[in-house]
Amino acid sequence: MSASNPATGTPLTDAPATGTPVTKAPPTAARSRRSGGTAVKYAVLSLGAVAFLFPFYYMIVGSLRKTTTGDLSSAVPSGLTGGSYTAVNGAISLGRSLLNSGIMTIGVLLCTLVFGVLAGYALAQLHFRGRGTVFASLLLVQMVPFQLLTLPLYVLVVRDYGLGDNYIGMILPFAINSTAVFLFRQFFLQLPQSLFEAARLDGAGELRILWKVALPMARPAVLTAMLLTFIGPWNEFLWPFLVTKDADMQPLAVSLASFLSNLQGTVANPTGALLAGACVLAAPAVALFLLFQRHFTSTDIDSATKG
């Protein structure tokens, strides 16, 4: 729960669970009451898990069935085939879409990693005029709903800069993730000050200190920030939808949405194909999440509740 969580990567919620408060009743009564409470707990949690997971299960089964209908037997995996994946690939060229999603996401990750780390380090360790203003802007920016800036950004990027159907135009609004900058700053702030002072006395430049001293220790913070940054551009729909008209430039979220609204008639099992596309779109984020789950949960919360 301490602010040092992002630093150590210790998952918040794996901290020793606080036992349920037990009233001071006779032991047997307390025990039976507690086990009753536990049963209710498991029932509630399992019900929740079913509600969360069923659509995912249905998505996978639906994408693999030969004919995908809405009747009750459709939830049973039988007669499985990969045909829907071939179909959706034919309709929206999955490879190209995935490539576009990948380029957009990697562009954002790189910019955030390079410029975000620099900014986070400066905000944490260096004194310069306007530091307070920059930090205040960083906090303010996270309150501004991005969608509200969409229209003027669209006019600027597509009309004035001529960056429609261009990767730079797709990346630009997300280029440096402010939450990541915030995380970097928090992390560099927690490193012992003496470390930096010693390096400075040795005459090391700030870039060298950042590269040789601060960054090697910052691996957990970097990992967390990268995971957080990844899901934004990968899942984003509105912005790439606006700036890409050329199907060859559209990331998967956009091409899948256009398949959802007007291309479904072109394949034999449209629902199956749609769900197959949804699986492909969901898979990378889900895989990354499951791999790095601990980092994901702990810091996300820490940054939201505490900073």
Partner 1 sequence: MTNLRPTATATATATAGAAPGVRPQGEGAATRHGRARSRTGALFVTPYVLFLLVVFAVPMVYTLWISVHRFYFTAPGTDIDSPWVGLSNYRDVFTDPVVGRAFLNIAVFLVINVPLTVILALVLASALNAKIRFRAFFRAAYYLPYITASVALVAVWQFLFGTDGFVNNLLGAHAPDPSWLVNSHLAMPMIAVFVTWKQLGFFVMLYLAALQNVGKELYEAASVDGAGRVRQFFAVTVPGVRPATTLVLIYAIITGANLFSEPYLLTGGGGPDHASTSPVLLMYQKGIEQGHPDFAAALGVVLVGFVLLISLAARKISERGN
- Please, which of residues 231-290 interact with partner 1 by CB under 8 A? 231, 234-235, 237-238, 242, 253, 256-257, 260-261, 271, 274-275, 277-279, 281-282, 285-286, 289-290
Q: How many residues bind partner 1 (CB under 8 A)?
A: 122
* Minimum CB–partner distance for residue 197 and partner 1 (Å): 7
Residues 213/198, Cβ–Cβ less than 8 Å? no
Which of 30, 110, 139, 168: binder of partner 1 (CB under 8 A)? 139
Q: Applying CB under 8 A, does 153 fall inside the site for partner 1?
A: yes
* Minimum CB–partner distance for residue 187 and partner 1 (Å): 12
Q: Give the distance, in angstroms, between the CA of residue 30 and the centroid of all CA atoms in the same chain.
A: 43
* Minimum CB–partner distance for residue 216 and partner 1 (Å): 18
x/- mask, partner 1, residues 4-23, rule CB under 8 A, reads --------xxxx-xxxxxxx
Q: Which residue in the block uniquely carries the two structure tokens 């085939």?
A: 81
| Both tokens assigned to 135 | 């930090």
Sign of CA dihedral 165, 168, 170, 172: negative
Which of 27, 143, 192, 216: binder of partner 1 (CB under 8 A)? 143
* Residues 164-183 close enough to bind partner 1 by CB under 8 A: 172-173, 175-176, 181
Q: Give the distance, in angstroms, between the CA of residue 213 and the centroid of all CA atoms in the same chain.
A: 28
| Both tokens assigned to 158 | 């597509």
x/- mask, partner 1, residues 93-132, rule CB under 8 A, reads ----------------------xx-xx-xxx--xxxxxx-
Indicate the residue among 28 and 304 with the shorter CB distance to partner 1: 304
> By three-state DSSP, how is residue 278 classified?
helix
Q: Applying CB under 8 A, does 56 fall inside the site for partner 1?
A: yes
Q: Applying CB under 8 A, does 29 fall inside the site for partner 1?
A: no
Q: Where would I find the H helices in 65-205?
A: 83-92, 94-111, 117-125, 131-141, 150-154, 167-171, 178-190, 193-201
- Gap between the Cα atoms of 47 and 61, Å rounded: 20
- How open is the CA angle 57-59-62, to the nearest 5 degrees? 105
* Minimum CB–partner distance for residue 19 and partner 1 (Å): 7
Q: Applying CB under 8 A, does 79 fall inside the site for partner 1?
A: no
Q: Applying CB under 8 A, does 72 fall inside the site for partner 1?
A: yes
Max Cα-Cα span within the chain: 76
Residue 100 CB: number of other CB atoms within 10 A?
23
Backbone φ, ψ for residue 164 (5° rounding): -65, 150
Residues 96/280, Cβ–Cβ less than 8 Å? no
Which of 44, 110, 168, 268: binder of partner 1 (CB under 8 A)? 44
x/- mask, partner 1, residues 193-232, rule CB under 8 A, reads x---x--x----xxx-----------------------x-
